[in-house]
Amino acid sequence: LRRLGFVPCPTMSAPAVVAAAAGYVAVCLAAWLLGRSGAGPPPKRTVEIARGVHMPLLANGVDTDHHVWLEAGGRHLDTAFLYGDWKQRAVGAAIASSGLPRGDVFLTTKVMCCPTLRCGGVCEGGTTAPVAVNAATYRNVTAQLEHSLSVLGLPSVDLLLLHFPCARWADTAAAWRALERAHAAGHARAIGVSNFNASLLRRLVKIAAIQPAVNQVGFSIAGHPAEHGGENATRYGCLEGSRLYGADDATLRLATARGITTQAYSPLGAISNVDVLGRREVQRVAAAHSREGGARNWTAAQVAFAWLLQQGMGAVTATTDARHAAEALDAAELRLTRREMRSLSRLR
């Protein structure tokens, strides 16, 4: 008992000591059980990724109609140079027509690094990209950003990411220096990377004058990494969900230790080819909370989002459906127990 911190008063009688000790053990046991299976910490809605830069953890990306997301209360939009002018233009139009102050909507865009580790021929010619992406020079990455800002109709973004690492480390380093210059020039309030694994993150933080604020990777329940491990092409013909692209616990641990926020794209597993919503454990947890909540029916998708949020991770979904938008945003209200978090984390 003394090892547990219980020290009886010298004037206490033997029965009093026994009673006090029993009560103390009961409290310790209750605390231990709560730590193992009690409700985890409430999910956060925003995170400070750089000094004074607060990023909403839930974002909407890829789609061309973001009005639904903003009307549902979403305040983070995600796009990229790689997605094309029409998708970036749709993001700018949604912000302009929303009636919201510019500072109320957090905007992320990305620039490409070429030759890239990303599969496919985006850097090998045949692309219709408005800026050539066949050389990862400072001028090239800067040209991509300038073009994107022009299409968005905005002078700056809140977060600028390097979409994929280059095939050559020297090009990756040069591209990162371009992002640092963009930050210094006021074109981005924060800068980060996407699809960087633990090894590349270690190399980057050693040479970076500004540490990356975010690493956006494919990450989901049962997809860290995905079962395919990147060995076979997915329906997109890429390696999303693999260790190569940072979709693993080692990369998450390193990012957390370095103060880098991990943001998950494909949180429901579509791009990484992981059937998150079909997992029985995910469905069981949703059903259990629906029974406990009574009037509220939680969904498997909300469990998947909550699992990320309770780890302090962001998530980028893609929807133009008002019901799905509200469903994703409401996931911040769901508190999974520590036992549920562990069981979901073990799924592969």
Active site residues: 83
Separation of alpha carbons 127 and 76, rounded Å: 28
Backbone dihedral angles phi then psi of residue 102, each to the nearest 5 degrees: -55, -35
Residue 116 · residue 123 · CB < 8 Å: yes
Helix 280-293 and helix 338-345, axial crossing angle in degrees, nearest 10: 160
Q: What is the DSSP string of 69-134?
A: HHHTT--EEE--GGG-HHHHHHHHHHHHHS---GGGSEEEEEE--SSBSSSSSTTSS----SS--S
Calculate the alpha carbon distances from 341 to 60, 68, 312 in Å.
Answer: 24, 30, 13
Separation of alpha carbons 305 and 324, rounded Å: 12
Residue 218 · residue 245 · CB < 8 Å: yes
In single-letter form, the type of residue at position 297 comes to N
Which residues are CB-neighbours of 253 under 8 A, at least 6 positions away?
A: 198
DSSP 193: E
DSSP 316: E
DSSP 43: P
Separation of alpha carbons 211 and 254, rounded Å: 13
* β-pairing verdict for 58-61 and 314-317: parallel
Token pair in block for residue 45: 């809605």
Backbone dihedral angles phi then psi of residue 115, each to the nearest 5 degrees: -60, 140
Locus of tokens 């210094």: 184
Helix 280-293 and helix 300-309, axial crossing angle in degrees, nearest 10: 90
